[in-house]
Amino acid sequence: MTDRLSGSATEQTSSQTILESILDSALHEMNRERSGLLLSGLSAGLDIGFGPLMMGVVLTLSPQGFGDLTTELLLASVYSIGFMFVILGRSELFTEHTTLAVIPVLDGQASLGQLGRLWGLVYVGNLVGGLVFTLLTILLMPELGVISPTAFETIAMKLVSHDLPWLFVGGLFAGWLMGLLAWLITAAQETTSRLILVWVVTGTIGLLHLPHSIAGNVEVLFGLFVSPAISLADYVGFLALATVGNAFGGAIFVALLKYGHVVRGAN
């Protein structure tokens, strides 16, 4: 019985340490200058584009396409590349902050205004970075010779062909997973462990084709620019519902629940 209690206390202490680390990190980001946050968000929006770009390459070179297990697993793996660049490179990603930046607000150390400022700057930076990456890739695409415009259309259609409720619910699950990843990354001590966590979690998002507002921004923009089948209304509808779903998923299923269980356990 004593061993069980000791183990429980150790686990709770570890959770408190994670929470304290998240609070320190989130408060630091909230107090950064606007230009720093915007540039960091821009960098993340650029870097994350390499995932959708590699998906286009794999889909172009694969004779099977979507539905083939090997191709699906490979697509999910390369989808993770952009997230690895962003998270291990410590750039600011909106879907991480749907959990991280909410916790100081729950703890009473930050206001909703500070949360909105952080979310807004990072989100705008992410979207602009994704747009710039998409335009640069389209300029390079004919000379690369390994990407077909049809591949980008196929990838985009996987996200915009669903009805609106699915986009919200799918976005909620993607935000939930990204919030969980943010918590786990804080808990992990080694770069290798963090790399594996990013690959597993974001690979799951890719395998399930869940709508991630920032990576999906690049995926759907590719389709918008290269295919008449993707309209501006498709893009706006996807982005709006994916963003709201991501925010709810990270804030409610991770930030609120994990903060609650750690604080109540401490008491």
The whole model's pTM is what?
0.91
Kindly list the averaged pLDDT for each block of 10 residues, start to end, along the chain of length 267: 43 76 94 96 98 95 88 97 96 94 96 96 98 95 86 95 95 97 91 96 97 98 96 97 97 93 76
What is the reported pLDDT for 267?
Answer: 53
3-state secondary structure the chain: CHHHHHHHHHHHHHHHHHHHHHHHHHHHHHCCCHHHHHHHHHHHHHHCCHHHHHHHHHHHHCCCCCCCHHHHHHHHHHHHHHHHHHHHCCCCCHHHHHHHCHHHHHCCCCCHHHHHHHHHHHHHHHHHHHHHHHHHHHHHHHHHCCCCHHHHHHHHHHHHCCCHHHHHHHHHHHHHHHHHHHHHHHHCCCHHHHHHHHHHHHHHHHHHCCCCCCHHHHHHHHHHHHCCCCCHHHHHHHHHHHHHHHHHHHHHHHHHHHHHHHHHHHC
User: What is the structure's pLDDT at 65?
Assistant: 83
Q: What is the pLDDT of residue 10?
A: 44
